[in-house]
């Protein structure tokens, strides 16, 4: 067949094959075979294959490609690996697949601390369980059924990360983890008022409030104690950034000459402006001295 494509090497190739099948193999014969083989080496025998004639069979390769693509897109690619493992580990006893699966429909398992989180569960398979249980912190509770194969559970005021598992009819889910995001919280709030000397008023400390009535020229200093807070801003016409003194303590000051409407916002890398409390300081301006004449 090769000789029909390359007539110029037909005789040489036939001669090599005949020498190779000879009953006696001397060193001279082997040297002759090697010499003729070297002469045939530059011949590109792969050109004997006519790929154009085989193009008509290319369409049949689309069938396995479509099957593999549909399996991968459907998320069932594990079928291939599972079957392979069963064949290789033929001595291992495998349990039959579960009659249904649990699916968590929440886009993200995250919640801000001290807030509620509603877990939404869906089951799918040959069997639809009538009741689903959830286990966390070594305790087990029943989920609320919302429909056929649909269940919900509400976690109240989560403070720390939580891991849970679902179960029904001796079928168990993998462990899931709810991540609790620490909120930038204002723990305490003091406002120190340093009054002008001419008022002869003692400095005053107001706790848990940012509202006050003060004479013009008063120096107000805000001292905050926070938790899980990276930044604190006093937002007004002239926004002021607080100085971070460490351990969650922030300080800022401003001398007041006009009414001051402002708000204080706490932030961290996960939550911006989480606590935003508004306040108002009324400033009483000095009046010029008046002379009242009392003529009788």
Q: Any alpha helices (H) in the chain, and if so which ranges?
A: 2-5, 10-20, 27-40, 51-54, 62-73, 78-88
**pTM confidence score:** 0.56
Instruction: Give 192-216 pLDDT, tens digit per residue.
Output: 999 999 888 899 999 989 999 999 9
- The candidate with the shortest Cα–Cα distance to 178, out of 219, 123, 120, is 120
According to the model, what pLDDT value does residue 65 have?
84
Q: What angle do CA 144, 148, 149 make, to 5 degrees?
A: 70
pLDDT at residue 3 is higher than 90: no
Distance from C-alpha of 284 to C-alpha of 198, rounded to nearest angstrom: 14
According to the model, what pLDDT value does residue 99 have?
87
pLDDT at residue 7 is higher than 80: no
Packing angle between helix 27-40 and helix 10-20, nearest 10 degrees?
A: 150
Token pair, residue 269, equals: 């890398």
Distance from C-alpha of 241 to C-alpha of 232, rounded to nearest angstrom: 6
**Beta strand extents in 105-259 (DSSP E only):** 110-112, 117-125, 133-136, 139-142, 144-147, 150-155, 162-168, 171-172, 176-181, 185-194, 204-207, 212-215, 218-227, 231-235, 240-241, 243-246, 249-256
* Burial class of 233 by CB neighbour count within 10 A (0 to 12, 13 to 18, 19+): buried
Q: What angle do CA 5, 8, 10 make, to 5 degrees?
A: 70
Q: Which H helix or E strand runs over 276?
A: strand 275-284
Instruction: Give 51-96 pLDDT, tens digit per residue.
Output: 777 777 777 788 888 888 887 777 666 666 666 666 666 565 555 6
State CA 259 to chain mean position distance: 46
According to the model, what pLDDT value does residue 174 have?
92
Distance from C-alpha of 277 to C-alpha of 222, rounded to nearest angstrom: 13
- For the chain, the average pLDDT equals 84
Over residues 287-295, the mean pLDDT reads 72
According to the model, what pLDDT value does residue 166 have?
94
Beta bridge partners of 264: 234, 277
- The candidate with the shortest Cα–Cα distance to 235, out of 252, 215, 216, is 252
Instruction: Give 235-282 pLDDT, tens digit per residue.
Output: 898 888 899 999 999 999 999 999 999 999 999 999 998 888 899 999
DSSP designation for 143: P
* Burial class of 217 by CB neighbour count within 10 A (0 to 12, 13 to 18, 19+): middle
Comparing 38-42, 129-133, 238-242, 269-273, the range with the smallest average pLDDT is: 38-42
Selected residue with higher pLDDT from 232 and 86 = 232
DSSP designation for 216: T
Selected residue with higher pLDDT from 245 and 4 = 245
Query: In which band, very low, low, confident or very high, does the pLDDT at 34 lie, cut at 50, 70 and 90?
Result: confident
pLDDT at residue 140 is higher than 90: yes
């Amino acid at each position: 067949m090769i000789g029909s494509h390359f007539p110029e090497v037909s005789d040489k190739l036939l001669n090599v094959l005949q020498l190779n099948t000879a009953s006696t193999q001397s060193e001279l014969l082997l040297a002759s075979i090697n010499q003729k083989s070297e002469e045939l080496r530059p011949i590109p025998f792969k050109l004997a294959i006519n790929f154009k004639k085989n193009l008509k069979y290319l369409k049949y390769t689309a069938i396995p490609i479509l099957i593999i693509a549909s399996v991968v897109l459907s998320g069932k690619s594990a079928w291939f690996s599972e079957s392979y493992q069963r064949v290789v580990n033929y001595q291992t006893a495998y349990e039959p697949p579960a009659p249904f699966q649990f699916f968590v429909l929440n886009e993200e398992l995250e919640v801000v601390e001290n807030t509620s989180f509603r877990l939404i569960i869906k089951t799918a398979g040959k069997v639809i369980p009538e009741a689903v249980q959830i286990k966390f912190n070594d305790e087990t509770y029943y989920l609320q059924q919302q429909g056929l194969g649909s269940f919900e559970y509400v976690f109240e005021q989560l403070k720390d990360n939580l891991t849970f598992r679902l179960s029904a009819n001796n079928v168990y889910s993998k462990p899931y983890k709810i991540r609790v995001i620490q909120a930038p919280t204002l723990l305490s709030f003091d406002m120190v008022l340093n009054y002008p000397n001419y008022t002869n008023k003692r400095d005053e400390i107001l706790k848990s409030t940012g509202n006050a009535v003060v004479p013009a020229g008063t120096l107000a200093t805000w001292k905050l104690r926070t938790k899980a807070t990276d930044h604190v801003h006093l937002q007004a016409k002239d926004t002021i950034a607080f100085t971070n003194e460490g351990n969650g303590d922030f300080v800022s000051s401003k001398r007041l000459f006009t009414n001051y409407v402002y708000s204080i916002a706490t932030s961290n890398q996960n939550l911006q402006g989480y606590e935003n409390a508004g306040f108002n300081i009324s400033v009483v301006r000095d009046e010029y001295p008046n002379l009242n004449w009392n003529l009788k």
